[in-house]
Amino acid sequence: MTTLPSRTPLIGAAAPLRIPKADPAWGLILQSGGVIPCTVGVPLTALLYGELGLSEEQLKPVDVLLLDGIAVDDPEKTIVPDGARLALAAGLPGIVGLAMKSGSAVGALRSGITHTRDEVNPRPGTILLSLYSLVIPLLAGHFLWRGIMVEVAQVLRYARFAPEDHCLFDHAPITARNLPQALAHMPGSALLFLTIDELCRR
């Protein structure tokens, strides 16, 4: 039996929003990016496996790692700074996709944007995680189950519910059809701590 990773703890003033079951379209929220509290100042491999709870099997299809927009070829030696933007992708098309692959034979095409970083300095912080292309259906459920911090505007954009669906907003039960109205009074940039127990199968 597989042991599920612990959920990311709720941080700061982000209002909790928990959804028992959601449409797969919610996975697209990871494309626009979600904030994850974690230990930073560590190698990218430590972040991926330890902090983000990913397995080698889950990461096998991921062939592009971008940290602050810069390609990563050696995640064991790449240190993740606080506030870093981490993007995971797979199957990007064309010569750009080929060049951005980790360890690509044509990696010389991006020698000026290949990642190098400083010394290890573990400390609490956050990253902004984005998923692209084929990685979205593969890993979105993992991160939504653990929990991510997203803006109200993102939730309103990607929310897909059946009329009978229910959720918990700020620890109070609410019907899905009333959630947009409940969120409408909040600034679009206000943060929610979103957890989704299960993405429905199409």
Structure tokens at 53: 């709870």
pTM (predicted TM-score): 0.83
| pLDDT higher than threshold 50 for residue 57 | yes
Q: What is the pLDDT of residues 93-110, one digit of tens each?
A: 443 443 444 554 444 444
Element (H, E) at 95: helix 94-100
> pLDDT tens-digit profile of 144-167?
999 999 999 999 998 888 777 889
Euclidean distance between CA atoms 123 and 169, whole angstroms:
30
Under DSSP, the state recorded for 178 is G
pLDDT classification of 10: cutoffs 50, 70, 90: low
Given a cut of 80, whether residue 4 has pLDDT beyond it is no
Band of pLDDT at residue 7, cut at 50, 70 and 90: low
Percent of the chain at pLDDT > 90 equals 59
- How does DSSP assign 100-167, residue by residue? HSTT-TTGGGGGGGB--------EEEEEEEEE-TTHHHHHHHHHHHH-EEEEHHHHHHH----TT-EE
Residues paired with residue 123 on neighbouring β-strands, in sequence order: 40
- In this prediction, residues 122-126 reach a mean pLDDT of 95
Domain layout of the chain by residue ranges:
15-196
Q: Tell me how far apart the alpha carbons of residues 85 and 102 are, in angstroms, rounded to a whole number.
A: 17
What is residue 119's predicted lDDT score, i.e. its pLDDT?
81
Tokens of 84: 């870093």
Cβ count within 10 A of residue 8: 22
pLDDT value, residue 13:
73
Please say whether the beta carbons of 184 and 43 come within 8 A.
Answer: no
Report the chain's terminal Cα–Cα distance, integer Å: 25
pLDDT band at 9 (very low <50, low <70, confident <90, very high): low
